[in-house]
Every structure is written in C-alpha cells, then in structure tokens.
Structure 1
C-alpha cells in the first residue's frame, strides 16, 4: 500500500508514477497541466521602436522643411532690406549721418567735420543733377524734333548721293526705307520678346534679392545649412558678440539677457594682417575682465592667444579695442633684414628691426631713444639688440660699445667695428661696465656744453653738428645681461642711479642706451629705468611681474602682456611699447643668422661692409640724408591750398626721381594716413591733398620731437 501512496513534494501532491503506469483507465480523468505560452512582448517592442523611428524621421523631415522655409524666406526679406538700404543710402545723406554720429561718439571731431563736408558736397551735387534733369525735360521736345529733322536730312542726303551714283532717282528714298525696315524688325522682335521678358522680370528681381540675402546670410543661425554652432574665422560683429557672450563673465551675461544693444564705436574693418573693432561695453563690464578671459576669447574666435589683443584706448574708457590677427599670420619666418646685402643707414633716421603684427615695417629709432629688452632665454632678445647694433654701425659716424656680462658669443663678429667690447660675468668685467656708465654720465654733461657751443639755439644733436665735431659723434652702448650689474653688491645701487641719469639726459646728445635682461624684476631693474625708457620690449615672460617690469606698471591688467607668448614657440615675437603712437605693438624681429656649425654667417659680411664705410673705403663715408615724404609733399604743393593726388605723385617724381619714381597711390595714402591727413575728396569725388593738413601734421611731428626732450622736467 505504501507503494501506491501519493508523493508529496513541496506541499503539493504528485500522483505516483507506478499508479499511472498500471492504471491507464484513470488517466482519462486526469487533466493535463497547462503549459504557459511565451509572451509576445518582444514583437510589440520592435513595433514600438519602428514607429518611434518613423516618427523621428517624419519630425526631422518636417524640421528640415521648416528650416528650409524660414531660411529662404529670410534671404528674401533680408535681401530686400539690404537693397532698400543701399538705394536709400545712395540717394540720401543717411550714410553720412551715420558716420558723423559714429565719429562724434568716438570723439573724432575732425572726422565728423570731414563727413559733414562730404554730406554738403553730396547735397549740392544732387541738387545740380536734379536741376539738369528738369532743364532736360524742358529742352527734350526741341532736341527730339531737331534730331529727327537732322536724321531725316542726313538720310535724304545719302539717298541723293546714292541716286547720283546709280543714275536712278528711286534710290533717293532707299536709306529711309532701310531705316524703316530696321525699325519694323526691331518692333517685331520686341513684340515677341516683350511678354516673356515682362513675365520673367519679377522672378529675376526675386532671384537677385534672394542672392543678396544668401550672400549676406540674413537668415537666423539655427536655420542656416550645416551645423548652427559652426564658427566663422572672420571675427565680424556677430562672431565677436558670440565670443564675448561665452566668456562666462556674469555682468556681461546679465546685460545680454536684459537686451543690451551693443554700440560699435568702430565696426569690424580690415587692418593689415587682421581685423580691428571697437565696442562700447555695458555697465559693470571692464576691459580688464575680458583680459582675464583672453585665452577663452581667443579660443572662441578660433585664434591663438597671441593673435587676439583686447585693450582699452587711452582716450576712450569703457571701450573694448579688439585686434584679431589672421590665423597663423604671426607664425612662420619673418622677411629678411632689409640691409642684409646692401645699403647704409642714418643714425638720425633709425634702422629697420622688425615687422608689426599688421605686417608693416618697424623702424628702431636711435636718436633720442633708449631700449629695455627682456624675456625668457632663447626667445630673441639678443637678436633684436644685434639688429639694432648692426643697423647703427652701418652709419660711419656711429661709435659703438658692447658690455656683455655673460659668456655670449653673439656679439663676437661685431668686434672689429666696436670701439669697446667687454665680455664676462666676473667682477672685473662688471667693473668695466660700471666704469662705462660713469664715463657716459660725465660725457652727457660735456656733450650738453658742446651742443650749446656748436649749435647755438639747437635743442638736440643733428647730423650736421655731429660731422662738424668728432666729439659729438652719435654713440650706441649695449649692456647685455644688465641685471648682473644692477644686482651687484658693490656697484649695483650706484649703477642704477648712473643709468637713470644717462637715460634722462643722453637723448638730446646722441647717445642710445640698450639694456637687455632675462630677469626683469624690481630688484634687478630699477623702476625709474623702466619708467624713463622710450622703447620697452618684452619677449615671452613667465608672469605679470616680469611683464610690468619691462613694459611698465599696469600694462598686464591693460591687456598689454607678453605672458601669452609661448617660450620656444613664439621665438622672435615680442610685445613692445614706444615703437609707434599706438598703445603697444606686437612685433616679429628680423633675424640675422649666424650658425658656424651649419656654415651660415650673415653677420660678418655686414660688419665688413660697415668697416669699409667706417674706414672711408666704401662708396660714401656718410649716407645721403633720407627723404622726408611730408616735407617733399609740402614742397610739391607749393602755395596751392589743395592738389589732386595724381598731381602730387607727378611732382614728387620730378622732385626726387630716385625716391618717388615708383610710388603709387597706395604709397602716398600710407604716408597720409600715418600723419593723420585722412581721405580728402572734393567735387567729383577726386582725392586731394590738403596743404593745411600737411602743415598741421608737420607741426604735430615737431611737437612730438620737442616732447622727447625731457630737460625741462628732468632739470
């Protein structure tokens, strides 16, 4: 019995296997267990996914169609707006009014007056044209009648001549019949073409409007084809505002959210190898805040930090002055030094040493100038000093001395042309440099007395006075690694005092001081040396302390900083103050190469050429005075109040063919722009040169030259 007992498993009764086997009659009453079926969920999920993907595709297509519609509609609306504005500007003085308002906002009164004069000339010309049209309408019937009668007479005369030649009187009317036939064919062709042309004209005009809008990208950014986040390499107004809005500056972001309307003091314009803009910042935002985010700003504008320079103009507070270089324009080799193979120099005119960030030549002033050059080792400071020195010794009048307080071989090839050359970092060499400063301090006093004796009322040395007395020959003195002298325990303090004295008084006497250092700190360079230096040069530096030690206090905060230059990468690139009237210049120095291990020596031939001129064996002991374009332009003008530019170019070529024979309008415009003359057009839109503006420019230049004489302050 126990064999037939049911088996209990997990609380459930399972029939005995043997019972089922031997009692088949009971199996009919046993209900087979229900087998659970697989759920159909995976198939349902696949169906949901397919429906979702279809919905996404449909929505994407609808979105693309929406963007397409908005984009091309915006092209039409924007193109019509642009063409309307162009037409309005061409027929009114609206453009002149805009430029006058911008000039007044920037404080440029002379520019505003110039645009006001242009607007007056435009209104006068427009009035004259309208009067001529009215007169034409009055005279038109008479002119048409006379023209018709004259034309008929000519045709009749031709017919008579033709009949005379052919001995046939019917040929008298042949020319008139020919003209009638041509007119009838023209009318027939016009009748065929007129209706299709009339129907097509609106569509042609619409296509033209669309093309203008598409070219100017008047559609919203999100509706443009491609990636709406794609950035343009041209830093126009839109790109600059987008870059500023992504700097993470709280007050600026708040102003943008509150609907700040930017006011462009100077819209984005092409400037040399880059782009220049001026934007008035909103309240609570300073240029210093933007400078703290300079690396992010450069990234947003697709540039390296060295290619982006946000500064604040001295006379326009709260204005962002932004210059953005072309991508890669500050990299690659610099042009060869202009005096590499030929030419002499004039100490009083300066020497070429570099090119600016805009690609313009940079002249290193020697007369009335002194230099403080610094930066991390191996970035080009000695190259700049050598270029200055080589340019100076190509003038046979110049006396050159070099004191290198290190074991530096860069100056060795110049030794034959140097009047004094000391090299080494021992106490003896430093003592020699100190003694040189003492001699210079005594010499400036002596030269001051000689200048009074030789020149009478002359306020500074000239080439004529220097040639008159050998004791007044111009001099350039280089102190390389000058921190070794200023930090010396015995000579340092007095050396700093002597250097300041020489710097303050030597400029009118024709003595140029050049100091170079790798350690521009308050301990290594006296602050008064930095303050009184006319030309400050900073190659790559490690921090803002070194930057301000070279360029002046507060320059780093103002955005004039060399901390963004990368050592060993931006070799030869430096941030400078004093090379132009601009607050700063980024320059790329010419490199006169000397690498004996490579068989390259460009320095020695220049020194040999300098020696030849210095010894009197060269073509000329003294170079001819360089041409002064402003003075020559004034000579070309004579007593005329103004003269057309092409006439000025012709007179200049007659005055000095060697200098001006190849001059173009671009060369003349460069000189006029540099002196602040600006564009000057009169009736007919012809460019002129104003005599009064040239006189003002010469007066300003004389004032700047007199400002270089600090005696009134120093003494």
Structure 2
C-alpha cells in the first residue's frame, strides 16, 4: 500500500497530496469516512533548498583561486573607472565644493561654508572665463592660421632668396619651402605608421590605468583580495593600511567594505621620524576601540611587532583612526648615548634629557612644577629612566637630592656622594624614615610658600634667580622607590598617603619634585589621588590593564595607551608615558647610563664626580650649557620681525639654529609642534606659511597659563 504522506517522486516535492480512499474490495466501492486518511498540508521548502544549494556554489566558487582572481581584477577595473569618473566630474564641476559645503553645514561651521561658497564662485568664474577665451580663440583661429602661414612663407622665401644669391642658382629660391614640405611629409608618414597601433593600444592603456587606480584604492570585495604573503609591503602606505584593517575580522568593517565604503584620509600617510603617520576616518559602526582590540593582528598584517604599531583616537577628532607605525626594528636598536655623559651642565628649571621618543626625538624630563610616577615589573628598565633623571638633576649645582629606597637596591649607591640623604631597606625604621621625609616636605612647602608670599608681587613661583639669592629656595628632588611598601604599611600607610597628596599639591611652585617608583601599581598600593596629581606617568612592561591604568590613568588601556604589549626582557627600557609632551602619550626609550662592576663598566661615577666638582666649587651655577629645545620659542625666535615666513624657510632656520633637535624635521613635525598652540602653518596664496602673530600669541598664552596654574595652587 502506498504511503499517502510521502510524494510519489522527487518532482512532487513541495506539492500538497490530496486524500485518496483506500482501495478495498471492488473498484469504485465507497469507503467509510472514518477510513479516509486526511490530506497532508506539509510543504517541503523547495525554494530554500535551491537557495542553499546556490549559496554553496557561490562559496565554493569564492574559494576557487581562479574565480577570486577574476573577480578581484574585474572589480579593480570597475572601481578604477568609478574613481576616475568621479575625479573627472569633480574637476569639471563644483561637485567637490557642494560636498564640502554640506559637510560644513552638518558640522555647523558657517565660516567654512562661506569659504567654500567663495571658492565655488571663483571656480565658476574662472571656468566661464576659460570657455569664453576658447570661444574667442576659435573665432580668431582662421585669421591666426592665415597670418602664421603668410609669415612662415615669407620667411622661407627670404631664406630661399638668400640661398639662391649665395649659390648663384635661381632654383634654390624654393629649396627651404621644399625642405619644409618634405619634413611635413615624413612626419605624416611616421604618424600614419604609428597611428593604427596607437589607436588599437589606447583602450588597453586606459584599461590598465583604471585597473591600477582600482588596485591602489582596493575596490575589490574583501573576500576576493589576495591572502597569505601576496602583495604585502613593508611600507605602510594607504593600500597596505586598508588591506591590514580589512583583514582584522571586524564584522561592521567587513560589511562597510563590501558595501563599497570609500576611505577618507584625514591625513595621508607621511614620513614621521623613524616611522609613518596617518589619520583615517572610520566608517559608520566601526570604532577605534574595535581596532585596538585587534592590535596584535593589525601589527602582524603590517609586518610589525605590536610595540611598533600605535592606533589611537585623537581627542578632537572622534571617529578617526590615528595610526603611527614604526620602521621595522626601530624600537629595538641601540639608544643614543645620554647627551650629558661626558660634558655639560643643566638647569633644573629647564629640564634634563632622559629618553628618545618613538620617532627618535629627544625627550626632556621636566623637573620644575613636575612630579613622576614610574612603574613596571622587575627588570623592565625603571631604574634607567630614574637614574638618568637624577644624574641630570645633580649636574645643576643648586639641586638637592634625597632618595628613600624601601628595598636593598644598589642602583643609587654611586650617586650617594652627591645626595643629601640615601636611606635603603624595607624594615619598619626605614619606612618610618620615608614617612618623616614626607612630614618634613609638608613643613618645607609651607615655609617656601610663606617666603613667596613675603616677596609679594615680585615672585609667584621659585625661579633660578631666587634660588641663587636664597638658599632656603634651592630646588629639591626626592625619590621614593618601592613606594608601595610605604603606602601599604599597616601603621604608616594612611598618613603617608595623606602627606603625599598635600605635598604634591603645593610642591609645584616651590621647586620640589617627587618621584614615585613601584613594581606594584594597583589601587591598593598607589592611592588614587596620588596618581591623579602626578604630571608625568611612566609605564614600563606591566602584567595587565589594571597595573597599566594604575600608572597611566583610568581608561588608558581601553583607549589604546597601554604598556601591556611590552615584552619583559625584550623591551627593556621602553615605556609608555603620559605628560612628557602635548600628545596624548609617548612611547619612549630611556637613556641607559651603564654601570656593571663585573664587566668593569662604570659611566655613572664620572658623571657624579663631575657633579661633585660643580657643587663644591659652585662653577657654572648660573650658566647651564644644556638647553633643551623649545619648538614654540625657537620658531618665534627664527621668525624675528617678519610677518609671515614660508614654512620650508622656517624649517631651514630651525635646523641652522639647533641641528641636533631640528635637523631631521619636516612639515609634519613642524605642524605637530605648533598645532597644540593653534599656531601651525597654513596656506596663503598657494604656499604654506607660518604667521608671527599666531606664534607670539601662543607664547603669551602659554605664559599666562603657567601663571594661572601656579595661582591655582
């Protein structure tokens, strides 16, 4: 008996099967109603089966190398055609101006809207003038051609007469004209030979050009792009960066690329120090945080180590990926020698050299109105930066140095002759000595504040001149190493935290610098208010994001400013810092002043002996030889009395003024230095210039801010 609930054959799949009476007895005999099986209403999804089969075919085709190559290069041609067509349209119309005006309207920038309206009007006026000139030229062409023909014929005829006179042959009168006619004939012959091949090759040349543009813009679908080691370049240009972020496995980004997202480069990829810098506006639904979550993959795609790739989001440009990519191995080579290793004196009030940045620029450790939090796991290089900071400080004869090391650490022993006090150990009496030092500092900042108040309007902060006149106002640098032992002490920890906060809030204008060093940067070991009031924060290799944010500030790891990617034992001396410059962060490599008694190496002791000679003899107390670069002040100096100077000329003058600091600078470096003050170069009459008024206003504004900062203390 046939199963009435199943189709008779495969072709009937998806068709309802009606109820059929069972054949019992004589054909045609009616069957009782209760014996009739009900009709089935189940329908097989034949269309879904076909769609799934089609999808499988498409996926299999995508996985086929030949199909991917065909789609990729075909998409390059189509995408290149679209890009070139748009460029041509933009160049012939005011479409670009209209887009910019709409963007400015959305942003609410009325001034920018007016500027683009003026540019659009100027463009239309110039276009109209060109068209009228062409029309006038067409009207004047017959007359000009006739005039040129007559003039040329006259010249040739005169030459013929001269030639006939010289050769005494009347036939030479037409020789110049015949020569020109023969030359034109040869040109026509060559053109006739080349014309047909050129005519046939033009479409292929155009096709090749469109393909090249499409390939550069990566207009192919992401699944059709090359995989593995194909088309990977060590230089992170726009194409390499798009390929790198397009293969991060971020779903919204993949969807945007598939839908034809056209990247907008806020800043094209440019050379910056020993690396490359670019800014890219991300598509809708894609955040910089998503890119940060794939930092290791991004570094791999760019053929870099994670420490050599730094994606961040600019504070004033939300939705923009700011990417800096170092040259391969540039953060693992030797660090330049410390500039003051063999000679030179310093000025506490101007800072000392401590490191070089990720771009190879010198990093100055500010001492006046600054304090430090330095942390990282053991062996990450904390001491190298602190020792460089202290050695620079003691090369100023006015500076007093104290160190409280709550561990048995020999790093500070060579500096002991130049220190006022060095306490080492983790016993209760050693920790109590550190607590007493904080008590004394509390009293000292109060005393110095009273001295400044007595001076009235003469001084709002300690200056070098004041420190020379009054020994009570001499600059002081105090180090608390392994400070977590102090803050976590059951008996002294609470009082130490309260004293530290009080001292740090008042020490900035009275020339007292505190340096906190720890291997345990957690919420329990470092009071939150101590971290908040720290101006310079340094994170060497740390174990997790908790330690990272404990040093650099809350939310830094999430924002991509993290030292968790530094590898202990490999990235020794490399740190992520906040507060050393106007940038959100800096990756620095600290100078290493070597001292290894086992190998007979000691570069520290000669510096200390030189500092002792300066301190005891008082030599060069008011004439420091080390002058850290101040780009804003230096630009103001090289501008002189000129109202505006070409940006390239400013760079030449800066390089002549300070070759070590500005010798390798380019336009991007100049912009980066002046932009935080609103004094960066701008275009005037088609060239980039730097305005004296802008720079001078920035200098005055910075001075006013410094005064306000001290007045707020």
TM-score normalised by the shorter chain: which range applies?
0.7 to 0.9
If the length of structure 1 is used for normalisation, what is the TM-score?
0.74
Alignment partners' CA distance in 1, 2:409 and 2:303: 40
Structure 1 counterpart SS, 2:682? coil
Alignment partners' CA distance in 2, 1:317 and 1:184: 66
Match of 2:543 in 1: 542
Match of 1:356 in 2: 357
Shift in Å at residue 487 of structure 1? 3.6
Task: Please say if residues 156 and 176 of structure 2, whose CA atoms lie closer than 8 Å, have aligned partners that are also in contact.
Answer: yes
Shift in Å at residue 243 of structure 1? 1.6
Q: For 1:38-53, list aligned pairs within 5 A.
A: none
Match of 2:214 in 1: 213
| Residue 522 to residue 72, structure 1, CA distance change in 2 (3 Å) | closer
Task: Please say if residues 222 and 228 of structure 1, whose CA atoms lie closer than 8 Å, have aligned partners that are also in contact.
Answer: no
Shift in Å at residue 111 of structure 1? 8.4
Alignment partners' CA distance in 2, 1:257 and 1:172: 72
Structure 2 counterpart SS, 1:512? strand
Task: Please say if residues 613 and 621 of structure 1, whose CA atoms lie closer than 8 Å, have aligned partners that are also in contact.
Answer: no
The reply to whether residue 623 of structure 1 matches residue 625 of structure 2 is yes
Match of 2:646 in 1: 644
Match of 1:461 in 2: 462
Alignment partners' CA distance in 2, 1:328 and 1:471: 48
Alignment partners' CA distance in 2, 1:661 and 1:314: 26
Task: Please say if residues 75 and 217 of structure 1, whose CA atoms lie closer than 8 Å, have aligned partners that are also in contact.
Answer: yes
Larger mean Cα displacement after TM superposition, 633-642 or 431-440: 633-642
| Residue 281 to residue 345, structure 1, CA distance change in 2 (3 Å) | farther
Task: Please say if residues 645 and 665 of structure 1, whose CA atoms lie closer than 8 Å, have aligned partners that are also in contact.
Answer: no
The reply to whether residue 236 of structure 1 matches residue 241 of structure 2 is yes
Match of 1:553 in 2: 554
Shift in Å at residue 516 of structure 1? 0.5
Match of 1:529 in 2: 530
Structure 2 counterpart SS, 1:196? helix
Task: Please say if residues 262 and 280 of structure 1, whose CA atoms lie closer than 8 Å, have aligned partners that are also in contact.
Answer: no
Alignment partners' CA distance in 1, 2:344 and 2:121: 49
Task: Please say if residues 222 and 246 of structure 2, whose CA atoms lie closer than 8 Å, have aligned partners that are also in contact.
Answer: no
Match of 1:37 in 2: none
Alignment partners' CA distance in 1, 2:665 and 2:567: 39
Match of 2:13 in 1: none
Larger mean Cα displacement after TM superposition, 291-300 or 555-564: 291-300
Shift in Å at residue 85 of structure 1? 3.0
| Residue 438 to residue 269, structure 1, CA distance change in 2 (3 Å) | same
The reply to whether residue 85 of structure 1 matches residue 86 of structure 2 is yes
Match of 1:394 in 2: 395
1:231-283 Cα offsets, whole Å, 9 max, x none, are 8885634542542526xxxxx69988998979869588457435555666867
1:608-637 Cα offsets, whole Å, 9 max, x none, are 444455545679842375564434544555
| Residue 135 to residue 686, structure 1, CA distance change in 2 (3 Å) | farther
Structure 2 counterpart SS, 1:689? strand
Q: For 1:33-182, list aligned pairs within 5 A.
A: 66-92=67-93, 94=95, 133=134, 137=138, 144=145, 147-148=148-149, 150-152=151-153, 154-155=155-156, 158-159=159-160, 162=163, 171=172, 173-182=174-183
Task: Please say if residues 121 and 682 of structure 1, whose CA atoms lie closer than 8 Å, have aligned partners that are also in contact.
Answer: no
| Residue 660 to residue 418, structure 1, CA distance change in 2 (3 Å) | closer
Alignment partners' CA distance in 2, 1:304 and 1:658: 31
Structure 2 counterpart SS, 1:236? helix
Structure 1 counterpart SS, 2:684? coil
Q: For 1:174-573, list aligned pairs within 5 A.
A: 174-223=175-224, 236-237=241-242, 239-245=244-250, 266=266, 269=269, 272=272, 273=275, 276-277=278-279, 306=307, 314=315, 330-452=331-453, 456=457, 458-573=459-574
1:568-624 Cα offsets, whole Å, 9 max, x none, are 333223232222333333333232222222233332343344445554567984237
Alignment partners' CA distance in 2, 1:480 and 1:211: 59
The reply to whether residue 589 of structure 1 matches residue 590 of structure 2 is yes
Alignment partners' CA distance in 2, 1:388 and 1:657: 23
Alignment partners' CA distance in 2, 1:578 and 1:65: 54
Task: Please say if residues 364 and 628 of structure 2, whose CA atoms lie closer than 8 Å, have aligned partners that are also in contact.
Answer: no
Task: Please say if residues 344 and 624 of structure 2, whose CA atoms lie closer than 8 Å, have aligned partners that are also in contact.
Answer: no
Shift in Å at residue 72 of structure 1? 3.7
Shift in Å at residue 370 of structure 1? 0.5
1:359-382 Cα offsets, whole Å, 9 max, x none, are 544332222111011121111111
Alignment partners' CA distance in 1, 2:242 and 2:528: 40
1:135-188 Cα offsets, whole Å, 9 max, x none, are 655665565555555545554555565556556666555444433332232223
| Residue 280 to residue 531, structure 1, CA distance change in 2 (3 Å) | same
1:654-692 Cα offsets, whole Å, 9 max, x none, are 9x5888996865464554456444452233x32222344
Match of 1:681 in 2: 683
| Residue 388 to residue 62, structure 1, CA distance change in 2 (3 Å) | closer
Alignment partners' CA distance in 1, 2:409 and 2:74: 69
| Residue 598 to residue 306, structure 1, CA distance change in 2 (3 Å) | same
Alignment partners' CA distance in 2, 1:363 and 1:578: 11
Structure 2 counterpart SS, 1:456? helix
| Residue 576 to residue 116, structure 1, CA distance change in 2 (3 Å) | farther
Task: Please say if residues 637 and 648 of structure 1, whose CA atoms lie closer than 8 Å, have aligned partners that are also in contact.
Answer: yes
Shift in Å at residue 530 of structure 1? 0.9
Larger mean Cα displacement after TM superposition, 562-571 or 163-172: 163-172
Shift in Å at residue 504 of structure 1? 0.9
Shift in Å at residue 385 of structure 1? 0.8
Question: What do you get for the CA RMSD once the two structures are aligned?
Answer: 4.7
Alignment partners' CA distance in 2, 1:263 and 1:186: 47
Alignment partners' CA distance in 2, 1:88 and 1:368: 57
Larger mean Cα displacement after TM superposition, 657-666 or 365-374: 657-666
1:42-97 Cα offsets, whole Å, 9 max, x none, are xxxxxxxxxxxxxx9xx999966544543443332222223223333444555566
| Residue 217 to residue 547, structure 1, CA distance change in 2 (3 Å) | closer
Alignment partners' CA distance in 2, 1:383 and 1:660: 22
The reply to whether residue 600 of structure 1 matches residue 601 of structure 2 is yes
Structure 2 counterpart SS, 1:502? helix
Structure 1 counterpart SS, 2:404? strand
Larger mean Cα displacement after TM superposition, 140-149 or 360-369: 140-149
If the length of structure 2 is used for normalisation, what is the TM-score?
0.75
Alignment partners' CA distance in 2, 1:547 and 1:660: 31
Alignment partners' CA distance in 2, 1:437 and 1:637: 46
Alignment partners' CA distance in 2, 1:636 and 1:214: 45
| Residue 440 to residue 123, structure 1, CA distance change in 2 (3 Å) | farther
Task: Please say if residues 245 and 256 of structure 1, whose CA atoms lie closer than 8 Å, have aligned partners that are also in contact.
Answer: no
Structure 2 unaligned segments of length 5 or more: list them.
1-56
| Residue 102 to residue 428, structure 1, CA distance change in 2 (3 Å) | farther
